[in-house]
Amino acid sequence: MTLSEVEKLAHYIQSLSGFEIYKTIDGNYDHIGATVADAVLQANNKYATNVKPRVNRILELYPKARTTSSVLRLIESTSATEFLNWRGIDRAERFRLVLVLFSTESIEIESDLKEWLSQDSNLLKLRAIKGIGPKTVDYFKILVGVSTSAIDRHLLNFLGLAGLTPCDYLDAQNIINATADILSVDRAYFDHSIWQFMSKGAAASQAGQCNGYRA
Looking at residue 215, its pLDDT comes to: 58
* Averaged pLDDT for residues 148-176: 95
Same-domain check for residues 7 and 59: no
Question: Which pLDDT band holds residue 202 (cuts at 50, 70, 90)?
Answer: low
For residue 204, pLDDT over 70 is answered with no
Domain that holds residue 9: 3-24+148-199
What's the CA gap between 75 and 59, in Å, rounded? 15
Same-domain check for residues 40 and 86: yes
Looking at residue 100, its pLDDT comes to: 98
Question: Which pLDDT band holds residue 126 (cuts at 50, 70, 90)?
Answer: very high
Same-domain check for residues 20 and 76: no
Same-domain check for residues 59 and 135: yes
Looking at residue 18, its pLDDT comes to: 86
Looking at residue 2, its pLDDT comes to: 72
Between 30 and 211, name the one with better pLDDT: 30
Backbone dihedral region for residue 111 (phi beyond 0: left; psi -120 to 50: alpha; all else: beta)? alpha
Same-domain check for residues 96 and 183: no
Helix H, strand E, coil C: the string for 92-160 is HHHHHHHHHHHHHCCCCCHHHHHHHCCCHHHHHHHHCCCCCCHHHHHHHHHHCCCCCCCCCHHHHHHHH
Looking at residue 200, its pLDDT comes to: 81
CATH number (domain holding residue 104):
1.10.340.30
Same-domain check for residues 44 and 127: yes
| pTM for this model (two decimals) | 0.90
Length of the chain: 215
Looking at residue 207, its pLDDT comes to: 36
Same-domain check for residues 76 and 95: yes
* Averaged pLDDT for residues 32-47: 94
Q: Which helix (H) or strand (E) holds 81?
A: helix 80-84
Between 208 and 84, name the one with better pLDDT: 84
Among candidates 3, 38, 16, which has minimal Cα distance to 136? 38
* Averaged pLDDT for residues 124-150: 97
Same-domain check for residues 103 and 50: yes
The total number of structural domains in the chain stands at 2
Same-domain check for residues 55 and 135: yes
